[in-house]
Amino acid sequence: MSTDTAPAATADATREAARRRTFAIISHPDAGKSTMTEALALHAQVINEAGAVHGKAGRRSTVSDWMDMEKARGISITSAALQFAFGDHVVNLVDTPGHSDFSEDTYRVLSAVDAAVMLIDAAKGLEPQTLKLFRVCKARGLPVITVINKWDRPGLEALALMDEIYRDIGLQPTPLTWPVGIAGDFKGVLERRTGEYVAYTRTAGGATRAPEEWMDADAAAAREGVDWSTAVEESELLEADGATHDQELFLDGITTPVLFASAISNFGVAALLETLVELAPPAAAFAYDKGGTPERREVGEPFSAFVFKVQAGMDTQHRDRVAFARVTSGAFERGMVVTHAQTGRPFATKYAQAIFGRERSALDTAYPGDIIGLVNAGALKPGDTLYLDAPVEFPPIATFAPEHFAVASSADTSKSKQFRKGIDQLDSEGVVQVLRSDLRGNQSPVLAAVGPMQFEVVQARMEAEFGAAIRLETLSYTQARRTDAASAAELDSLRSVEVLQRNDGSYLLLAPDKWRISTIERDHPELTLEPLLAGEA
């Protein structure tokens, strides 16, 4: 970058970074995450009608879900990124897989955002997957905004949900809105910071924005009677308990602002958007290690980005491969030639796009906080770094400990070349971890997954994209530990365990249960056994 343009570029990147709000929605399956994603897009006027029409007749899948499996099952398996303007801000919403089997992909997404929206089903409260993902947010220092969703359906009491959040995850809930009407009878919310009432009006199927009517406390009391009085009394109890928003405590991960909503009815969605741009942090410097010294890549420094997701097969007409990268510093311009930190080779960005589901558009510029889709990025894999001018290499993305294992083999021996190519591609994308050994050979790799549905995705994609149907033989292992080359041979000689190697060079010991791991650690303390990142992080 020449010296005469550097100050202007730095100012542009710094100013644009301050406008960005980049976040992910995390939740347990069926909490309404994809529906909320589209409700936000609807309120931001990105789409005219929500893609999820919830009725037996004419039901459609959400536009963020593009795989056939996603449409058939009504869950999100892949992640997608959506950018839209809201007022003076630019919002980057990164959708995440909606099933616990794909929590590793969700973890990769959380490495690319600055905040998270935790969606809780009003009837079910905090569920195991929600707890796991919250712990990942906590480990990464991500501030969390909580949304109690599905308040239009029967559910738990609002105060009981606040107690559950505090008890189970240790966050102090500080509601910004409070429901008027019990779960299942959602009339509107008390806006706690102003004391006003926001009344909601249903629309047909929730396909369009729900009208909102604001009124003062006296008008609310006259209209809603005892429901308004109850909401006011409960809000006063929260006030007495210190449950009021403090921005510093929120950013420090001590408190979580809470909103009540119904994504399917588009109730409370506008409040979430306004809360995000007001409270969520903007794009900021990224930390990395430079020769053992902690450093920070400031947003105004030359361009850098890191790849958090690689996905192939999104375009049925072309067998392309898209790398999703989070811009961490500087200004991105389509066509610029950057350096791939892991190989030191140049990487051309001619085919940069904004991608949401199967919808694509050319992306000419991007700034810190933005997500860019780099098409035909065969050399890139999750965790890679791209940079311009000043070198930087961000830390690799941690890998989850797999709990399910299966041997894969080609169902048709004449398709061995396609089999190897497909397995290698899915491995590089992070769809599953692929483990190999001299004993098993390249034709019988072991697939390692957080959940068994990942195996179904592998089977479906291998047949659809590579024309190589596969057979899977489930193994009895449930535990994986990292080891090293010096310990591998002796560990591999022990009964009921097996040592295999990942493409990144790591050696993994597979064992049937934790008891077997414990006995090996007791009997062979000289051998290396280290935990991988657990699902609960």
Report the binding-site residues for GTP.
95-99
Distance, in Å, from the CA atom of 199 to the CA atom of 177, rounded to the nearest integer, reads 12
Residues ≥6 apart with Cβ < 8 Å to 330: 9, 10, 13, 299, 300, 301, 302, 303, 304, 368, 388
DSSP state letters, 102-122: GHHHHHHHHTT-SEEEEEEET
Cα 100 to chain centroid distance, Å, stands at: 12
Binding residues, by number, are 95-99
Cα 342 to chain centroid distance, Å, stands at: 24
Residues in the chain, total:
537
Residues ≥6 apart with Cβ < 8 Å to 290: none
Cβ atoms 167, 181 nearer than 8 A: no
Residues ≥6 apart with Cβ < 8 Å to 188: 179, 180, 181, 197, 198, 199, 200, 213, 224, 267
Cβ atoms 224, 216 nearer than 8 A: no
Distance, in Å, from the CA atom of 373 to the CA atom of 380, rounded to the nearest integer, reads 12
Q: What angle (nearest 5°) sits at the alpha carbon of residue 129, between those of residues 268 and 516?
A: 175
Q: How far is CA 512 from CA 313, 403, 475, 515, in A?
A: 34, 10, 9, 8
Q: Which amino acid does the sequence have at 536? A: E
Structure tokens at 112: 């690319």
Structure tokens at 70: 């996603």
Cβ atoms 507, 501 nearer than 8 A: yes
Structure tokens at 451: 């959940």
**SS3 state at 181:** coil
Exposed / middle / buried, residue 525 (Cβ in 10 Å: 0-12, 13-18, 19+): exposed
Go through 204-217 and write b for each residue having 16 or more CB atoms within 10 A of its CB, e for each that does not: ebbbebbebeebee
Cβ atoms 221, 179 nearer than 8 A: no
For residue 205, give the nearest of 152, 140, 271, 276 by alpha carbon: 152
- Angle formed by the axes of helices 416-429 and 453-466, nearest 10°: 130
CA quadruple 518, 519, 520, 526: dihedral, nearest 10: 90
